[in-house]
Structure 1
Amino acid sequence: MTKFYYNNFFSVDFSRAKTEIKRIGTTRIFVVIGIIVYLSLLIYSYKEVLSPEYSYRGYVIYDKKYYYSIFVFLFSVFPSLWMPVKINRPSQLLYWLLYILTYIPIFWVVYYSVEMKVSSLIWLHSTLFISFGIIYIFYYLPHLSIPRPHLTWNQYGLCVGLIAFALLAYVVSTFGFRLRLLSFYEVYTVRSELKQTLASASLAAYAIPWLGNVIHPLLMSLGITKRRPFLFIVGVIGQLYIYSITGYKSIILSIALFFAILIALWRGGRYLGLLTAWGTVGLVGMAILASFVTNISLIPYLSVGRLIITPGMLTGYYYDFFSQYNNIYMSDGVLSFLSDYPYDLPPDQMIGAVYRGDASIHANANMWADSFANFGLTGMLVFAVILGVILWVFDSLARNRNRKVAVLMLGLPAINLSNTALETSMLTHGIALVIILMYLMPPESTTRRWSGERVEETA
C-alpha cells in the first residue's frame, strides 16, 4: 500500500483513493444507465399507456421536429453526469427529487403535451438546464458558520412538543378527532368538507401541513434514530389523523416515502444515486406492468401520471400562457402593494380554465412554472439562486447534527416543490419550519460521515 505523510498532520493513501475513484466511476455509469431506462419507461407510459386513455386530461401528443427530441434527450440525461452518487450533504436528496420528479418531466412531457414552436421551447429548456446547474454550484461552497443556541435534547424535545401540542390542539378544536382509513369515495367528501372549514379557519391551512410534513415525520425519524418506538408510533398515528380529516393521499404516501428515504440512506447514503435512479425505474416499471396484468390504466395514472407527468404538463401550460400574456410579478401575494393583479382568477384556476375548461381546477405547478409566471425566464434563474441559498443554509445548520434525521426532515416537505411554488413550499408546506427546527437541534456526540466508513467525534 502506497501512503505518504506530510508534517504528521494527514496522510494520502493513493491506493485507497484510486479504488474509491474507480468505484464511483462504475457507480456513475449505472446511474446514467438507470436514468436512460427511466426516461424510456416514462416516455412509453405516456405515449402507449396514458395518452390513449387520458387525452381528455391533457395527456396529448403533438409532433415536434425530430432533431429536437435529440436535444431533449441529451439535456435530460446530462445532469446525471454530475448528480451526487452518494450523500455528502442532506439536501442532495431534495436535489435528486427535483431531478426525477420535476426537471426530467418538464423536458419530456412539455415536449409532447404542449403545442408550441421549437424555437420557443428551447428557451424554456435551456433556462431550466442552467438554473438546475446553478443550484448544484452551492454544493461546492463551504458551510456557513451560523451562531445558534445550545439546547440539550430534553430542551429541544420540549420545544418540539410545545409546537406539536399547539398545532394539534388547534386542528382538533377545528375539525374534531377521528381516526379512520377513508375509502376512495369518502376522500372527495372529506376534501369538500375541508375546503368549507378552511374558509372560516384559515390558520388550519398552515397547521395541517406543518403537522403532516414536518412534526409527525420528525417524530418518526427521531423514533427510528433514537430507538424510541413510541415516538415513531405517535408520528404514524398523527399522519393517519391528518389523512382522516383531509383525505390527502399524499399523507399516506408520505409514510411509504419515509421508508423509501431510509432505504436510500443505506450504508450512509453511499448508493443514493443508484437507489434513486433504479428505484424510480422500478416504480414506473411496476405501474406499467400492473396496467398490463389488470388491464386497468388507473394504476399508472395515479402513480406515474399524478406524481410525475402532470406537474411537467402544467409547467408547459404556464409557459405557453405567460409567454403570450402579462407576467404576475407576485402581485397576487407578497408584492401586491407594488402593482395590481392583472387577471380575474388566481393563476392556478386561470390555467385550469384556459387549458382544461374548468376554473374549479387548481392547476398548481412547481417552482419553475411559478417563477416563470411571475418574472419570466429571468425569474427561473433568480429562484434557482434563492433555492440554492436555502439549501446551503440548511446544510450548514445540519452539520454535526443527526444526518439521517436531517435528510428525513427535509425530504418529505421538499416533495411539494414538484407541484407548488417555492414560497408556498417554504411557508405553507413547512420547509421554513424545518429550517427553524434544524437551527434549534442539539449536536450529536458522534456523527457518521456520509460514506458510512468512519465515525468522527464532534463538539
Structure 2
Amino acid sequence: MSSHARNGGIRIAVLGLHLLAFLLLAHGYENSVSVIYASEGFHYTPNDDKWLTALGLTAALSILTPLRSDRASTLFYHLVLCIVLIPMLVLFHAEDQPGEYVAQVAVGYVLSICLRPLMTLGPPAWLRMSPHGLRRAFLAVALLYIAAILAMGGGRYLNFDMTRVYDLRADAAGNLPSFFDYLSPLVSKVVVPTALVLSILHRQVFAALVFALCSVLIFGLTAHKSPLFYPLLVLGVYLASSRKQLALLLGVAVVALLGLSLADFWMARHYDDEVYGWTGKLVMRRVFFLPAQLNFMYYDFFSRNEWVWFSNSKLTLGLANYPYDLPVTHLIGREYFDSESMGANTGWFGSGYMQAGFAGVLLYAAVIAAVFCYVDGCARRSGKQALMTAAVVVPLFALLTSSDLLTAFFTHGLYLNLLVLACLINKEPLHARRPSHQRASSLRYPRLRQAVPQPGSAGI
C-alpha cells in the first residue's frame, strides 16, 4: 500500500473516531449529564436545525487538523479538537448556543493551524544544561520546597485522604506566604513532572521514585489533588508520543473514555451503589463538558459587558483600569453559579474573548501557533519529540482548557517549560566542545588532511 493511500486511510479512521466522539457526547449529554447535573446549568434545550451544522463542523475541523506524528503540536491540536471544540459543538446543538461564537472559535482554531507552518522559532543558544544537571537542580528545588512547607508548620495539615482535601485546602494555603501561590504551580506542574520523565528516560529508577514521592508529599501538604495526576499525565503523553499514528491513538483513547463514562452512568442508574457515577462525572462532565460550558458563559457575559483589555494583568503596567469588582474567574462564578468564591476558569477561547472579543481570540491563536512552532522546532532539533511534548503538556493543557494565556505563561510556568526545552537541546557545555582542528569531518577536502602534517605526528 502506498504512503498516500495509507495516510488517506488513517485520515478516514481519525475522522470516524471524531464523529463517534461527537455522537457519544451528544447521547451522554441528553440522557445523563443534563439529567443528573441540571442544577449546575446543564440544560437540554436542543435546536434540531443545528444538528447537521454541528456534525458538519466536526467533520470539517477534523479534516483540517494535522495528522503528522513527527510534530509535537499534533497532540495539542487534537486535544483542543477533542476536549474543547467537539463538546462545544455538541452544546451548540443540545443547548442552542450562539452560532456566532462557534464560528469565531472555529476561525481562531483554523488560524492557529494555518499560522503554525509559516513561523520559524528556535530556542536561545545561551541556555545550556545537561539532563543530569537539570534533574539534580530540580531535585534540589523540590526538596527545598517541601522542607520550607514543613519548616513553616505545614506538617500539621498533612493529609492523604482525597475526600478531605477541600476541608484542609484553605488552611494549608493560609499557612504559607503569598509568593507560594506562584511557587507551588511551578514546582508541581513543571519541576517534578519534568524531572520524573527525565529520570525514567535515563533509567534512573531511584530518582524516579524520589520524584514520585515528592508528588505525593506535595499533594498531602497542599491539599491539591492535581500534583498526583500531573506526573501520570506527563508520563502518559511521553509514552503515547513515542508511538506512530498519535492522532489515531488519541482518538481511540477519547472514544474509550467516553464509552466508559456512558457505561458508568448506566450502572449508576440501574444499581444503587455509590461507586458508580464517578467516572462519568469526572470524565464526561468535568473534562469534556465543563470547559465547553464555561467558554459559552464567558462569551455570554462579555458579549454584553465591557471587555477586559488585559487590565487584569501587569502587561498594561497599571495604565488600563480593570472594570469589575472581582477577578474575572470569581465574577463568572458569581454571575452563573451564584458563588463569589468559585473560580470559574476557562481556556484559550473564553479568555481570549474576555480580553478583546473576536480580536482577542485571533491574537491568542497567533501566540499559541508561535508556542507550538517553538516546541516543534525544539523537538526536531533534539530528536526527542516524546520528551519535548511531555515537558510542556501540563501548562499547555491548562492554556487550552482552563487558563488565560498570561496566567499559563507566568503562573502555570509555561515560560519555564520553554526554557527547559532549550536547556535539553543545548546540553553540551561550551568548554566540552572539541577544538576545530580535531574535527576531521569539518574539512571540505578530507583527503588533503592525509598530506598535511598533524600535531604530534612523526617528524614534528
| TM-score calculated relative to the size of structure 2 | 0.84
Runs of at least 5 residues in structure 2 that lack an aligned partner in the other structure:
270-275, 429-441, 443-460
Give the C-alpha shift of residue 318 in structure 1: 0.8
From 291, 304, 307, the counterpart of 2:287:
307
CA–CA separation in structure 1 for the residues paired with 2:373 and 2:62 = 21
CA–CA separation in structure 1 for the residues paired with 2:294 and 2:153 = 32
> Are the aligned partners of 2:378 and 2:421 in contact in 1 as well (CA < 8 Å)?
yes
Alignment length (residue pairs): 419
Aligned-residue sequence identity (percent) comes to 22
> Are the aligned partners of 2:197 and 2:235 in contact in 1 as well (CA < 8 Å)?
no
> Are the aligned partners of 1:91 and 1:410 in contact in 2 as well (CA < 8 Å)?
no
- 1:354-393 to structure 2, matched below 5 A, reads 354-393=335-374
Q: Partner amino acid for 1:218? A: T
Aligned twin of 1:68:
50
From 129, 152, 164, the counterpart of 1:186:
164
Q: Partner amino acid for 1:323? A: S
Give the C-alpha shift of residue 307 in structure 1: 1.3
Q: Partner amino acid for 2:286? A: R
CA deviations 1:153-211 (Å, max 9, x no partner) are 4444454445445544544444635897633431111222234335xx22211221112
- 1:136-147 to structure 2, matched below 5 A, reads 136-141=113-118, 143-147=120-124
CA–CA separation in structure 1 for the residues paired with 2:16 and 2:395 = 29
CA 1:164–1:143: 2 relative to 1, 3 Å: farther
Aligned twin of 2:391:
409
CA–CA separation in structure 2 for the residues paired with 1:94 and 1:411 = 8
Runs of at least 5 residues in structure 1 that lack an aligned partner in the other structure:
1-17, 446-458
Give the C-alpha shift of residue 29 in structure 1: 1.1
CA 1:323–1:143: 2 relative to 1, 3 Å: closer
From 324, 332, 339, the counterpart of 2:304:
324
From 87, 107, 111, the counterpart of 1:130:
107
> Are the aligned partners of 1:156 and 1:442 in contact in 2 as well (CA < 8 Å)?
no
Q: Does 1:291 align with 2:265?
A: yes
Q: Secondary structure at the match of 1:329?
A: coil
Q: Secondary structure at the match of 1:182?
A: coil
CA deviations 1:107-140 (Å, max 9, x no partner) are 3235434x65xxxx22211111111112212442
Aligned twin of 1:400:
381
Aligned twin of 1:453:
none
Give the C-alpha shift of residue 289 in structure 1: 0.6
CA deviations 1:223-253 (Å, max 9, x no partner) are 2211111222122112111211233333323
Aligned twin of 2:182:
206
Q: Does 1:242 align with 2:222?
A: no
Q: Partner amino acid for 2:313? A: G
Aligned twin of 1:25:
8
> Are the aligned partners of 2:235 and 2:390 in contact in 1 as well (CA < 8 Å)?
no
Q: Secondary structure at the match of 2:71?
A: coil
CA 1:355–1:151: 2 relative to 1, 3 Å: closer
Q: Partner amino acid for 2:345? A: N
> Are the aligned partners of 2:71 and 2:376 in contact in 1 as well (CA < 8 Å)?
yes
Aligned twin of 1:14:
none
- 1:249-288 to structure 2, matched below 5 A, reads 249-265=225-241, 268-288=242-262
Rg: which structure is higher? 2
Superposition RMSD in Å: 2.5
Deviates more, 1:135-144 or 1:95-104: 135-144
CA deviations 1:424-451 (Å, max 9, x no partner) are 1111112111001111124589xxxxxx
CA–CA separation in structure 2 for the residues paired with 1:343 and 1:166 = 38
CA–CA separation in structure 2 for the residues paired with 1:305 and 1:192 = 25
Q: Partner amino acid for 2:308? A: I
| TM-score calculated relative to the size of structure 1 | 0.84
> Are the aligned partners of 1:330 and 1:374 in contact in 2 as well (CA < 8 Å)?
yes
CA–CA separation in structure 2 for the residues paired with 1:40 and 1:184 = 33
CA 1:431–1:375: 2 relative to 1, 3 Å: same
CA–CA separation in structure 2 for the residues paired with 1:363 and 1:147 = 36
CA–CA separation in structure 2 for the residues paired with 1:175 and 1:287 = 41
CA 1:357–1:154: 2 relative to 1, 3 Å: closer
From 85, 91, 105, the counterpart of 2:73:
91
CA–CA separation in structure 2 for the residues paired with 1:408 and 1:188 = 29
Aligned twin of 2:25:
42
Q: Partner amino acid for 2:326? A: L
Give the C-alpha shift of residue 316 in structure 1: 0.8
CA deviations 1:27-66 (Å, max 9, x no partner) are 11111111111111111111111111110111112232x2
Deviates more, 1:157-166 or 1:435-444: 157-166
Aligned twin of 2:453:
none
